[in-house]
């Protein structure tokens, strides 16, 4: 499964944070991509290949006036396969047997 450089960057970032709770917006800020781009990378480059998933969660947020409310977010997590995936090694297709 060939992997683009941007997808590798997001995958490596997720590996580096070792399971910490991050959203697509958090990843975008950390790697310098737009949130929309990260959403696409996660969906097409990681989720559909079984390397990541979105975990819904409810978080408490505080606005500028100090009021608190709850918001549903999706944390991006790696699957066990994603944690063990090595771009450039695991994404090389095997040559057909002769």
* 3-class DSSP assignment, residue 70: strand
* 3-class DSSP assignment, residue 57: strand
pLDDT at 56: 96
> What is the spatial distance between Cα 55 and Cα 76, in angstroms, rounded to a whole number?
6
- pTM for the complete prediction? 0.82
pLDDT at 48: 94
* Helix, strand, coil % in the chain, rounded to nearest 5: 40, 20, 40
Q: Assign 5 a pLDDT band (cuts: 50, 70, 90).
A: very high
The pLDDT tens digits of the residues spanning 6-20 come to 999 999 999 999 999
Q: Where are the chain's structural domains?
A: 5-83
* 3-class DSSP assignment, residue 53: strand
The pLDDT tens digits of the residues spanning 27-86 come to 999 999 999 999 999 999 999 999 999 999 998 888 889 889 998 999 999 999 999 998
User: From 3.40.50.10420, 1.10.10.10, 2.40.420.20, 3.30.1950.10, which CATH number describes the 5-83 domain?
Assistant: 1.10.10.10
């Amino acid at each position: 499964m060939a992997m683009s450089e941007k997808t590798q960057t997001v995958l490596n970032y997720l590996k580096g944070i070792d399971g910490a709770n991050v959203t697509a917006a958090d990843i975008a800020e950390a790697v310098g991509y737009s949130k929309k781009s990260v959403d696409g990378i996660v969906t097409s480059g990681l989720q559909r290949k079984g390397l990541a998933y979105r975990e819904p969660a409810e978080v408490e947020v505080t606005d500028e006036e100090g009021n608190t409310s709850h918001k549903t977010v999706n944390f991006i997590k790696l699957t066990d396969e994603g944690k063990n995936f090595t771009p450039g090694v695991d994404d090389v297709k095997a040559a057909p047997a002769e």
